[in-house]
Structure 1
Amino acid sequence: MKSPWRKGLTWSALLLSPLLWVGECRAGESPLAVALGRALTTSPSLQAAELGYAAKKEQVRQAAAKLFPEVALGGSKSVTGADWEGGGASSDPVAMELSLGQSLYSGPLKRSLDYYRLLASAAEEEVASARQAVLLKAAGAAVATLEAREVLRLAGSYLEVTERHLVATQARFRVGEVTRTDVSQAESRLAAARAQRIGAENALAVSRAAFEEVVGAPAAADLALPAAPVAAVGEKLTELKARVDGRPDLRAAKASLEAGRMKVALAEAGHEPVLSLSSTLGRSWETQVVGRVDPVDSYNMTLALSVPIYSGGGTTAAVAQAVAERDALGANLEDLRRQALLEVEKAFLDLSGARARMEANQSSVTSATQARDGVEREYQVGTRTSLDLLDAQHELFSAETELARSRFAAALARFQLLHASGRGTVEEMTRN
């Protein structure tokens, strides 16, 4: 015969319901994918990166425009006059001018275009890096919310068990089967279970607030992780480390380094000559006292060559500055690469450790379930005390909670490993 407090805490419940891990898809898109997509559209940091990229593209257009001819049309009209005793004179000259200027050779102009193109490439990779950072943050918030939901469910189940145990203990006390001490112990455990339930509710409220801050909307009721969130990524650590050069933040750093090298060449171009061509075509006419004067056409064409001779050391200093900045970018790239390798290894070990803890916790739940069942039977025949049963129930609750936490820790570690290896995309994070 099953006792009234046996219901609620069974280790099979800890395998977590399919809805928790698989969820219901909407039009072929999982709730997690919807949340990740919404996070991308509402993230201020991603918007800032995209606007920065747009600004860099405009710099490229500005640099390219300087290689094209400059054409300008100008005109003027003035009125002049003079009066003197017995007479006067006046004129109203009108002039129109069409001018054209073209750079024939300019090292700085050509190199500046290449420089800004590289900066734009770096900014584009920074957008990709920002996207993956937002996705990791959103996925972490989803994991935290789902973990808090499951812990609250377990806490509620444990609270129901302790409530039923208190009712049963009070009934047995009334017929003299147990002592007042047994009732007090049951009341104490019930109070502790209520406190744990309150703590779980608060943790869920915090997780929900964090999720809404990242995603821009409350967590859906059917929010769930992929069907196999704790599965290994299928690659060895060495293979994962070989992927780090494909991370968008490293690609951005490489593009910045190339831009730094081009900036050195740009500064060195300050020593080179500049050749330009300019021409003007104009017409002017005016009306004087004697009548309208025939229009005067004018034209001019100039080929100008400028050779730098001395600039007070400014160009040399600019080159030295560019070299120092280039070397700093190279050091930054190496630092980022080392950090990326460390992140990959840490995430890989975290995932391996979480999977090992899952297996150990599953064994703990199995043992705790068997122990609880045995103590329950012995309590029914009077060879175990109420405190023994309360301890067994709490141990099972603790084991189930640790198993749930280890499962979500493994899910988070997998997301972190995908991000560290440069594959933190919506498609990879929601893959079953």
Structure 2
Amino acid sequence: MKRAVSFHPSLGEATARIGQYEAEIDVARAGYYPKISGGINSNYDRRADREGFNPRATVQASQMVYDFGKVSGAVNVASAQRAVQQTELLLQTDNLVRDVAYAVIEVDRYQKLLAVAQQQVNGVEDIAKLVRQRSDTGASTLSDKIQAEARLQAAQSRVLELSAQLARWQTTLSSLTGTSVHVSGAVFPASFSKHCATGEPDWNTVPAIQQAVARRGEAMAHLSKSRADSLPTFSLDADAGYDLSGNSRSRHDEDEPEFTVGLNVRGNIYEGGANKARRNAANFALGAADAARQSAQLEVMEGLSAARSQIQGLSALQASLEKRDGMIAQTRDLYKRQYLDLGTRTLLDLLNAEQELHAARFERVNAASDLMRLNADCLYNSGRTRGAFGLQGIATGNRE
């Protein structure tokens, strides 16, 4: 899982977005510090006493004294946006881990199904050999030989079909992890099968819930900032200018620059209702975030309930199939002896017994794999995915 997390581009993009919003926080905090600017004005004057260009060098400095929370509001908005992006990273991480778990489970499924299918080919091939031998000696009819060959070809086709499915899931797993992954033995620890048996999820760790909470915080920050934007800003401003042309007559000494300093008050008198519209947008965003939280909780509970109900049925089916396996194998062997030695069973009975045995084994493999997928769903819906695979530090953008 850590290999997939460190490789996948979607998480790299989400991590870079977090860095972007951290830089936006620094931009907003710059509003607390003085601003200094300068330049040269090249004006053309046409007056009674002079006419011509009047270039002037200027330097301005401004320090915000009190702004009723405009700068702090901008910082809070940027911080809230970073928090939203962090939850997006968590959500994408959980989605990726779930997809990797699905791919691993499916690779394991089709490896086991392929092994069962190969056993079926071997079993049907043994029967086909016996039928050929009996046909050569006249003990079996041509129809028996054709029927056995048809079943053998069907079993071989199943092997080809399962091989194609296995290759598809191996490709999917490689694309998710960025490398070729060999799946063998126990795919997940034994504790993995117990995730659906846990109680209520920890809502504080469910990414969809965390994202709804973060979006509510973002809406609150926008609402607070919009209120501050409707109020004036007090600032201490200083301005220095120097007439480069020497034509200024506003001062006795033309070589000295001109200075102005003062406490200024600025505010928006009218902006067409834009600030009110921003407040309305923030209020709507609050409502949307609250609804998103409720929707996420409902979706999580529905997912957990559905998985738990299916697990009960699949667990019972798996136990039944384990008991049936031995009995069906004994029946197949008995039919084989009765067909060869006593002649009380037909070839069709023997082929059907062979098919039933491997059909039960196919079903057993599928039931076990479906149980693993359901536990992966429970792990995802309960918000425990990162904890189960040691990815707790992902919230800060640490993908190692």
Once the two structures are overlaid, the 10-residue window that deviates more, 130-139 or 199-208, is 199-208
Q: Which amino acid aligns with 2:350?
A: L
Instruction: Say if 1:330 and 1:227 are closer, same or farther in 2 by CA, change over 3 A.
Output: closer
**Match runs of 1:35-114 below 5 Å:** 36-74=1-39, 97-106=58-67, 107-114=69-76
The answer on 1:164 being equivalent to 2:126 is yes
Equivalent position SS for 1:295 = coil
Aligned to 1:269: 228
The answer on 1:246 being equivalent to 2:199 is no
Equivalent position SS for 1:231 = helix
Instruction: Say if 1:306 and 1:55 are closer, same or farther in 2 by CA, change over 3 A.
Output: same
8 A Cα contact 1:244 1:340, kept in partner: no
**Match runs of 1:354-369 below 5 Å:** 354-369=314-329
Instruction: Give distance in 2, aligned partners of 1:417 and 1:429.
Output: 17
Normalised to the residue count of structure 1, the TM-score between the two structures is 0.79
Return the offset for 1:421: 0.5
**Match runs of 1:364-379 below 5 Å:** 364-379=324-339
Instruction: Say if 1:64 and 1:151 are closer, same or farther in 2 by CA, change over 3 A.
Output: same
Normalised to the residue count of structure 2, the TM-score between the two structures is 0.84
Return the offset for 1:175: 3.0
The answer on 1:317 being equivalent to 2:282 is no
The percentage of counterpart residues that share the same residue type is 20
Return the offset for 1:73: 5.0
Q: 2:266 aligns with which of 296, 302, 306?
A: 306
Once the two structures are overlaid, the 10-residue window that deviates more, 224-233 or 361-370, is 224-233
Q: Compute the RMSD of aligned alpha carbons.
A: 3.0
The answer on 1:196 being equivalent to 2:158 is yes
Instruction: Give distance in 2, aligned partners of 1:365 and 1:113.
Output: 66
Return the offset for 1:307: 4.7
Aligned to 2:354: 393
Q: Which amino acid aligns with 2:220?
A: R
**Match runs of 1:176-191 below 5 Å:** 176-191=138-153
Equivalent position SS for 2:194 = coil
Return the offset for 1:247: 0.8
Instruction: Say if 1:428 and 1:37 are closer, same or farther in 2 by CA, change over 3 A.
Output: closer
Once the two structures are overlaid, the 10-residue window that deviates more, 126-135 or 205-214, is 205-214
- Tell me, which stretches of 5 or more residues in structure 2 are unaligned? 248-252, 392-400
Q: Which amino acid aligns with 2:232?
A: P
Aligned to 2:367: 406
Q: 2:89 aligns with which of 127, 151, 157?
A: 127
Aligned to 1:331: 291
Instruction: Say if 1:206 and 1:234 are closer, same or farther in 2 by CA, change over 3 A.
Output: closer
Instruction: Give distance in 1, aligned partners of 2:281 and 2:21.
Output: 22
The answer on 1:415 being equivalent to 2:380 is no
Q: Which amino acid aligns with 1:271?
A: S
Structure ranking higher in helix proportion: 2
Once the two structures are overlaid, the 10-residue window that deviates more, 123-132 or 51-60, is 51-60
Instruction: Say if 1:178 and 1:312 are closer, same or farther in 2 by CA, change over 3 A.
Output: closer
8 A Cα contact 2:39 2:58, kept in partner: yes
Q: 1:40-82: per-residue Cα shift (whole Å, max 9, x none)?
A: 233232233223222222221211112221123556899x9xx
